[in-house]
Structure formats: C-alpha cells, structure tokens
Structure 1
Amino acid sequence: MLVFGHAGYPVVLFPTSKGSFHENRDMGLIGSAHWFIEQGLVQIFCPESNDKQSFYDRGVHPHQRIQQHVAYDKMICHEVVERIRLNTGTAKVAVAGCSFGGYHAANFAFRHPGYVSHMFSMSGAFDIRNFMDGYQHDDIFYNSPLEYLPGLQDHELWNMMIVLGTSNWDICFDANLKLDGVLNQRNIPHWLDVRQNRLHDWPIWREMFPHYLSTIKFD
C-alpha cells in the first residue's frame, strides 16, 4: 500500500481490475488531487487489489474465487480501515475507485456503512455474477450491491455521501443507471454524475476525482 499526504481526511482509493497499489499514482489520479494533498486536506491510501486471486482466477472453482474476495474485504476492513481510524482519530473514511475499483469502493461502503462517510465510484460496475459461472452462494449475493442493497436497513446508509460518476459513452453507464435506480427505490441520497461524450478511461477519472474530493467538508 502507498500513502500520500501527511494529514487530512482519510481516503481509501482502490485500483482498477487486477491493478497494483501504485497504479493510481502511475496513471496520474494522485497527481490530480495534489492540491488537496499538499494542503493537508486529505491523506490517500492506495492498497493492492487481489482480483487476480479472486474474480479473475478462472483456474479455480468459483467458491474459491468468492472466498478470496471475502478475505480481501476483511483485510481492507480490519488491517486498513480500522487502523486508519485508530491512527488518524477519524470515525469514518472516504472510499473511492475507478472502473472495477468503483465496485470495490461501493461494495465496501454498502457492506460497512458505519465505517464510510463518502463513496466516490468513477465508472464502476456492480454485478459480479459474470465472474461466478452460474455458481450460487450467499457470499456472492452479499458482495453484489445490486442484489443485497434493496434489503439493507442500516441507517448509516442514509448519512453517506454517495457519488456515481459516469458518462453517456461509458461502458459502465447502464450499470450506474441500475445502481441509481436501486438507490432511488430506497430513497438513499446520492448524486448520479453523468458527463457527456467521455470514454471509460483515465482522463475523465482525473477530472472527477478532485471534483468529488471537493465535496468533503473539511474542518
């Protein structure tokens, strides 16, 4: 994991599909937030993904894939977020990610709403069934936001700042519309930010990320 910034509100920033801990730095996403970092307004934590060992490992049974992801979720919760809260004294963190990192951000936020104040998904997709080859298991259901979100009752969901960033040209546009629909059904406040004529790629995410950081109320 890489950490950027010396102080400020903690932001956990997930990489894209099978991405490394240094991907968001290498692709300029950290650079797009340099003002917030230099001013001590945010501290950004970039963990490694385990997508290669979970969703994308077609060499093992789907049960092993989803269990690898469950282990990753526990690691992020207990080894990253809980330690951030302890070390920074903040009650909650912000989570963010682009593409499949947007899935990780949304899934973590909705599974652990008591730990998350802001969720920024940029061109995320939220259905993991296509990775599971038709296999059915409760752990798949409870890591598929479009499936479990309609039944959640945790009041912290209604206190979270939720942003779904996408574009009318985004390959994940429909996925964001679906999640927007579920959130609307539950009357969960959120912002569906649909930008025009932009591709599913780093240039739009470098525009979105600092914009969404600006929505955090800094003390």
Structure 2
Amino acid sequence: MSARVELPIPGVDATLGVVRHGHFGRPMLVFPSEAGHAEDFAGNGMLDAIGDLVESGRVTLFCVDSLDGWSWSASDQPTEERARRHRLYHAWLEQSVLPHIAFEMGGWQSEIITFGVSMGAYHAVHFTLQRADVAPLAIGLSGNYDPSTWRGWGDIGDATYFANPMAYVRGAEGDHLNWLRSRASLLLVVGQGPFEWEPTKSYPSTLAFADVLREKGITHQLDVWGHDSAHDWPWWHRPLAHHLPRFV
C-alpha cells in the first residue's frame, strides 16, 4: 500500500485523500460506502479478496475519500443543496484525482474502471456516465441510483436532476445518448438479503435503473444474487472477486 496522498479540493482550503494499491495494470477508481474513507477498502477485506490481481500487476487501485458527510448525507440540508455540494466532489475527482492517476500510471495506458459499494456504487456509476471518455466501465454493488429517495426534503431542481442517474439517463436523447451508448458500460450487482430492500432500497433501485438502461440501449449487465447476500462488506468480497478478473 502506498502512503495516503492529500489532493486539493478546487476553490476551497481543504483536501481529500487517495490511497494507491498496486504497481501496474488497469487503474480502478474505488469509492467507499456512505461517508467513508480511502482506507475502508483495505480495512474491510476487499483488497484481500482481489489480492492476486493486484500483486500480479493486472489492476492498480486508487481508493478515495468521500465528501458525503458534507453533501448527500447532510440531512440538515435540502436535497437540492446537497446536490449542489456534490458538484464540488465531482470537481475534485476531475481536477485533482484524474491528473493524479495519470501521473502515477505514467499517462493513460488503459481506461479507468470505477467501483463502489452502497453509496459508493452511485458515485462510481455517476462518474462513468459523466466521464465515459476516460472511465467507461462502472461496477456498482448494492447501489441506490436515485438521490431523490435519500431521506431528502425540499424542492428538487436542476442540481438534483443532473446528479441523478435515474433521471438524466431516462431523459437522455440525441447525440448525448448516442455517446453514452458508444462509450459507457455498467455492471450492476445487488443481493436480496438483509438491508438490500430496506432501508437502502438498493434492490428495487438497481432493478429499476437496469430497466432504464435497457430502455435507452446503454450497455449494462444486471447480476442479482440470492437472499443470503447482505448489504455488508463480507458479502461484497464475493461479487468483486467473481467479476473483476474479466475486466483486467
């Protein structure tokens, strides 16, 4: 594991951290669960689950902090304000994290995979849909892809719409839709066990979002696991180890 690197958040006097695992291979941008940290991936056994891929140089992981505590998880703020705050996180990913990955990897030798669990799955999918030019493949485990359902309140406007994959993919058309069809590929994995239904709504949201992707002709795969598959780290080891080898 490399040392934690602090990268500046554009326009504010603050930083968020990135931790690298691996020395070669396809880069993977890893988001933690809600309000999580860059160290959570390794700390919860996910790195061990794919250690052979990292050690053999097939994939390099760039694990990032979240900003959820200030944005999507800030329950004292209306949904629209949370969505506006999320823009700052997206700016950090684009302006600080992407250049960091390019520098660490010696340029863009291969396209980025995005990966996340729970709210991190939303971040992975949303980032790929926004930046499929550099990160065309997203893997989301146990995600809810409709931020308007996240314990929100207040009127919803453009900020929420353009941060909501369920909404903006449904509304995509013309050249933009054609671009998504040509570039983006999403793998959505969800279980049917504890906490995948309530309170996370990951199961119904994942199936509903897969329906929207199908209707729009965007490349995707839906993988539904059984009732023993919980919304928790020990289960997330299994689908990651199952799916990742075919992409790296």
TM-score if structure 2 supplies the norm length? Answer: 0.82
Check if 1:173 corresponds to 2:203: yes
Say which of 37, 49, 55 aligns to 1:20.
37
Check if 1:199 corresponds to 2:230: yes
Check if 1:92 corresponds to 2:114: no
User: Does the aligned pair in 1 maintain the 2:31–2:63 contact within 8 Å?
Assistant: yes
- 61 and 117 in structure 1: CA distance in 2 versus 1, 3 angstrom threshold: closer
% of aligned pairs identical?
24
The residue aligned with 2:69 is: 52
Check if 1:158 corresponds to 2:188: no
| 1:143 partner SS | coil
Deviations 1:132-183 (A, max 9, x none): 4132221110010000012142524433331000122332111111111001
Task: Give the distance between the partners of 2:154 and 2:234, measured in 1 at CA.
Answer: 35
The residue aligned with 1:215 is: 246
One-letter amino acid of the counterpart of residue 163, structure 1 = L
Check if 1:138 corresponds to 2:165: no
One-letter amino acid of the counterpart of residue 237, structure 2 = R
Task: Give the distance between the partners of 1:58 and 1:160, measured in 2 at CA.
Answer: 32
User: Does the aligned pair in 1 maintain the 2:129–2:180 contact within 8 Å?
Assistant: no
The residue aligned with 2:83 is: 66
Task: Give the distance between the partners of 1:188 and 1:67, measured in 2 at CA.
Answer: 27
Say which of 97, 107, 112 aligns to 2:131.
112
Check if 1:9 corresponds to 2:18: no
One-letter amino acid of the counterpart of residue 187, structure 2 = V
Q: How many aligned positions are there?
A: 217
User: Does the aligned pair in 1 maintain the 2:28–2:115 contact within 8 Å?
Assistant: yes
Deviations 1:5-42 (A, max 9, x none): 01111000100011111111111111111001000111
User: Does the aligned pair in 2 maintain the 1:123–1:173 contact within 8 Å?
Assistant: yes
Structure 1 runs not aligned, ≥5 long: none
Is the deviation greater in 161-170 or in 175-184? 161-170
- 213 and 136 in structure 1: CA distance in 2 versus 1, 3 angstrom threshold: same
- 2 and 87 in structure 1: CA distance in 2 versus 1, 3 angstrom threshold: closer
One-letter amino acid of the counterpart of residue 4, structure 1 = H
Structure 2 runs not aligned, ≥5 long: 1-17
User: Does the aligned pair in 1 maintain the 2:84–2:160 contact within 8 Å?
Assistant: no
Task: Give the distance between the partners of 1:92 and 1:156, measured in 2 at CA.
Answer: 15
Is the deviation greater in 102-111 or in 160-169? 160-169
TM-score if structure 1 supplies the norm length? Answer: 0.92
For the aligned residue pairs, the C-alpha RMSD in angstroms reads 1.7
Check if 1:75 corresponds to 2:105: no
User: Does the aligned pair in 2 maintain the 1:18–1:51 contact within 8 Å?
Assistant: yes
The residue aligned with 2:120 is: 101
